[in-house]
C-alpha cells in the first residue's frame, strides 16, 4: 500500500509482507548467517505461525528463502513457535522449538536439517518421535515454551533451559540430555523471581569477564552468565548478570536488587523476545530482538505487514562498569556508509535548537558527543528521576540531544537525549531517553517517553550512536550501555523532508556537540533468486 510505503525500513530486517514476531534459531553455517522468525504467511496479524527463513553473508543484506517449517503435525498444529539451534561438535544441527498442539498444549519438538551439505539449510525434518518434551507435573499446559540453545557440561551432558511460571513466580527449568531425544528434568530451577510472571524466550549464555570477545555457549571459565527473560505480563526483555553453578544447575545474580525482571533491560524502547547466538565465524555473540508496531492492527492490515528485527548487535560484558552489558551494531552495518559530514564543537545554547545541514535524514548513522558547560554556579537540584515528561521537560542540566526524523518546521520530531539529574546528597544520575510524543501527527499511534539509566564514568563525555531508518530510531548511549529502539510513524518528516537537529532544553547549561554523520545505503533485502536454489 503506497500510503504507508515510507514506513518501510531500508536496512532493518523485515519480511516482504505479513506478520513477524520473535527471531528463532539464529546460526552461522557454511558461510551463511541464518535467521528464522515467527511468521504468519497469510496476514499482517499474529496467527498460523510458521518459521520464516532468510540468509545473509553479513547479517545486513538478507535474502528471503522458502518457509523452513509450517504447522503440519498434531504437535505443532496451532503453531511452530519459538526455538533455538545448537551446533554439535560433530557438525550436526539440532533445533528445539515449541509446538502448540492441536489441543493448544505447549510441547517441545526436535527438528534437524534434511541435508547438512546444503549451506542454505532449506529442508528440515521434524523428528518422528516428537514431541520430545511435554509440560512436567505442576506446570500449566500453556506455560511451557521457547527452549534455549543447549550447552554441554564436563559430564558430557547437554543442558537446555525453558521458561515457565508457578503462580506469579517466573522460573526457568533445566533439562539434561545426551541425544536431544530423551531428557531429564533437573530438580529445582536455574532461577526464579517472584512476581515476574511467565518467562518467555529465556536466553542463557556466558560473557567473557575481560569483555573483548564473545564466547561459545558452553564456555564456563573466565565468564559471567547472562540470564534473560521476556516477561509476558509487561512485554519487556530483562536481563541480569551473575554466576552459573553447574554443579547444582543454578544461576545467582551479582546484585539481587537488579535481578531478572526487576532490573536491567536490553532495550528501553519497543523491543521483545530477543535471542543471542555465538557467531563462530567472527568469535562474537550476536543479539537479535523483535521491534513490534505501535500503530493499530487495522493500519497493519492495510499496509500489509507488521514488525521488524533490530540491527543485530554484538554483546559484551562492560568490564569498565562491571554492572551491565555493552550492545553495539554489528560492524558490517558500516559497509552501508556512504558520504559523511563532520561537525566540531557546535554550540547549542540553553533553550535552543540547531539544524544540521546534512541533506535528507531518513537513513543515517550518527555518532555524537556532548560536553556540558555550566552557565552559573548552579546549585539547583533536580531530584526527579527517569526521563521526565519527555524532551519538553526542562531542568538545570537538560535534556539535550538530537531531534531525529524532524521536519523543517518542527511539526514532527523524535528527540533522543540525555537527562542528568542530581539529588540533595550530590548523587548524579544520567538517563538516556527517547520521546515519541511528537514523533507523528497520525492520531491513532501509541506514543511514549522511553528510557533508562546510563552509567557515565568520570572523564567521559555524553556519547551516543543513533541509527535512523525511516520509521525506526535505534539509539545506543555510552558505547552501548543503554539502548532504546523507537518505532515512529512520521507523516511530514519523510523522504526528502526529513531533517536532523540538535537541541538543548537545559536551563543551566550550554552544550557543545561534536558529530560524525553518515548517510546509509539501503540493504535491498529481497528473495533469494529462485533459479539458484
Binding positions for ligand FRU, rule: CB under 6 A: 21-22, 38, 49, 81-82, 98, 145-146, 200-201, 272-273
Closest distance to ligand FRU from the beta carbon of 401 (Å): 31
Closest distance to ligand FRU from the beta carbon of 479 (Å): 29
Closest distance to ligand FRU from the beta carbon of 33 (Å): 22
Closest distance to ligand FRU from the beta carbon of 22 (Å): 5
Comparing CA positions, the residue from 517, 475, 526 lying closest to residue 498 is 517
Half-sphere exposure of 506 (CA within 13 A, CB side): 32
What is the bridge-based pairing of β-strands 526-527 and 62-69?
Answer: parallel
Comparing CA positions, the residue from 407, 405, 401, 404 lying closest to residue 431 is 401
Rg (CA), the chain: 23
* CB within 8 Å of 249: residues ≥ 6 apart: 159, 174, 186, 188, 190
| C-beta closer to ligand FRU: residue 145 or 419 | 145
| C-beta closer to ligand FRU: residue 310 or 504 | 310
Q: What is the DSSP letter of 147?
A: P
CA dist., res. 501 & res. 503, Å (int): 6
**Among 22, 24, 232, 237, which one carries the catalytic annotation?**
22
CA dist., res. 58 & res. 77, Å (int): 34
CA dist., res. 270 & res. 307, Å (int): 10
Comparing CA positions, the residue from 363, 387, 397 lying closest to residue 466 is 363
Half-sphere exposure of 263 (CA within 13 A, CB side): 20
Which H or E run includes 327?
strand 325-329
Active site residue 22: yes
- Give yes or no for a contact between 290 and 271, defined as CB atoms under 8 angstroms apart: yes
- Give yes or no for a contact between 316 and 214, defined as CB atoms under 8 angstroms apart: yes
- Give yes or no for a contact between 163 and 229, defined as CB atoms under 8 angstroms apart: yes
| C-beta closer to ligand FRU: residue 49 or 207 | 49
Closest distance to ligand FRU from the beta carbon of 38 (Å): 4
Closest distance to ligand FRU from the beta carbon of 328 (Å): 24
| C-beta closer to ligand FRU: residue 38 or 382 | 38
Three-state secondary-structure class, residue 374: strand
Closest distance to ligand FRU from the beta carbon of 201 (Å): 6
| C-beta closer to ligand FRU: residue 273 or 358 | 273
Q: Which alpha helices (DSSP H) does 126-186 contain, by range?
A: none
- Give yes or no for a contact between 330 and 466, defined as CB atoms under 8 angstroms apart: no
| C-beta closer to ligand FRU: residue 200 or 474 | 200
CA dist., res. 183 & res. 60, Å (int): 37
Ramachandran angles phi, psi of 59, nearest 5°: 65, 10
> Please, is 363 exposed, middle or buried when counting C-beta atoms within 10 Å of its C-beta (0-12, 13-18, 19+)?
buried
Closest distance to ligand FRU from the beta carbon of 53 (Å): 15
> Please, is 529 exposed, middle or buried when counting C-beta atoms within 10 Å of its C-beta (0-12, 13-18, 19+)?
exposed
Q: Find cell 539434561 and name the residue.
A: 176
Q: Which residues are catalytic?
A: 22
Amino acid at each position: 500500500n503506497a500510503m504507508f510505503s515510507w514506513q518501510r525500513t531500508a536496512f532493518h530486517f523485515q519480511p516482504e509482507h505479513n506478520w513477524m514476531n520473535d527471531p528463532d534459531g539464529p546460526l552461522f553455517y557454511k558461510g551463511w548467517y541464518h535467521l528464522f522468525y515467527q511468521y504468519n504467511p497469510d496476514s499482517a496479524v499474529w496467527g498460523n505461525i510458521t518459521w520464516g527463513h532468510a540468509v545473509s553473508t553479513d547479517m545486513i543484506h538478507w535474502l528471503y528463502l522458502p518457509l523452513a517449517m509450517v504447522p503440519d503435525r498434531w504437535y505443532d498444529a496451532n503453531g511452530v513457535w519459538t526455538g533455538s539451534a545448537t551446533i554439535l561438535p560433530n557438525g550436526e544441527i539440532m533445533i528445539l522449538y515449541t509446538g502448540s498442539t492441536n489441543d493448544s498444549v505447549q510441547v517441545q519438538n526436535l527438528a534437524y536439517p534434511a541435508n547438512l551439505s546444503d549451506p542454505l539449510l532449506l529442508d528440515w525434518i521434524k523428528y518422528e518421535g516428537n514431541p520430545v518434551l511435554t509440560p512436567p507435573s505442576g506446570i500449566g499446559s500453556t506455560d511451557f515454551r521457547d527452549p534455549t540453545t543447549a550447552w554441554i557440561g564436563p559430564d558430557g551432558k547437554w543442558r537446555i533451559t525453558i521458561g515457565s511460571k508457578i503462580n506469579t513466580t517466573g522460573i526457568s527449568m533445566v533439562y539434561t540430555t545426551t541425544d536431544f531425544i530423551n531428557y531429564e528434568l533437573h530438580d529445582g530451577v536455574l532461577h526464579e523471581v517472584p512476581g515476574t510472571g511467565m518467562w518467555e524466550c529465556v536466553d542463557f549464555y556466558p560473557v567473557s569477564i575481560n569483555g573483548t570477545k564473545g564466547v561459545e555457549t558452553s564456555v564456563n571459565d573466565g565468564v559471567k552468565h547472562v540470564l534473560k527473560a521476556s516477561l509476558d505480563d509487561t512485554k519487556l526483555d530483562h536481563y541480569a548478570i551473575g554466576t552459573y553453578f553447574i554443579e547444582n544447575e543454578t544461576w545467582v545474580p551479582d546484585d539481587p536488587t537488579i535481578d531478572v525482571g526487576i532490573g536491567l533491560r536490553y532495550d528501553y524502547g519497543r523491543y521483545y523476545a530477543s535471542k543471542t547466538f555465538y557467531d563462530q565465524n567472527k568469535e562474537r555473540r550476536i543479539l537479535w530482538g523483535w521491534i513490534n508496531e505501535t500503530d493499530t492492527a487495522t493500519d497493519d492490515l492495510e499496509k500489509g505487514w507488521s514488525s521488524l528485527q533490530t540491527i543485530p548487535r554484538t554483546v559484551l560484558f562492560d568490564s569498565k562498569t562491571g554492572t551491565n552489558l555493552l550492545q553495539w551494531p554489528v560492524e558490517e552495518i558500516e559497509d552501508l556508509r556512504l558520504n559523511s559530514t563532520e561537525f566540531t564543537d557546535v554550540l547549542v545554547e540553553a533553550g535552543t535548537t540547531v539544524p544540521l545541514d546534512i541533506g535528507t535524514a531518513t537513513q543515517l548513522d550518527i555518532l555524537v558527543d556532548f560536553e556540558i558547560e555550566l552557565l552559573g554556579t548552579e546549585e539547583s537540584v533536580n531530584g526527579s528521576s527517569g526521563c521526565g515528561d519527555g524532551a519538553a521537560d526542562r531542568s538545570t542540566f537538560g535534556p539535550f540531544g538530537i531531534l531525529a526524523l524532524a521536519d523543517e518546521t518542527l511539526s514532527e520530531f523524535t528527540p533522543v537525549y540525555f537527562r542528568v539529574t542530581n539529588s540533595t546528597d550530590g548523587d548524579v544520575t544520567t538517563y538516556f531517553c527517547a520521546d515519541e510524543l511528537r514523533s507523528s501527527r497520525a492520531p491513532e499511534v501509541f506514543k511514549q517517553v522511553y528510557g533508562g539509566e546510563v552509567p557515565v564514568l568520570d572523564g567521559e563525555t555524553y556519547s551516543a550512536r543513533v541509527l535512523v531508518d525511516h520509521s525506526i530510531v535505534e539509539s545506543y548511549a555510552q558505547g552501548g550501555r543503554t539502548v532504546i529502539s523507537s518505532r515512529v510513524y512520521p507523516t511530514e518528516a519523510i523522504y526528502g523532508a526529513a531533517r536532523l537537529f540538535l537541541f538543548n532544553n537545559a536551563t543551566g547549561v550550554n552544550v557543545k556537540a561534536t558529530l560524525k554523520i553518515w548517510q546509509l545505503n539501503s540493504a535491498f533485502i529481497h528473495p533469494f533468486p529462485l533459479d539458484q536454489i
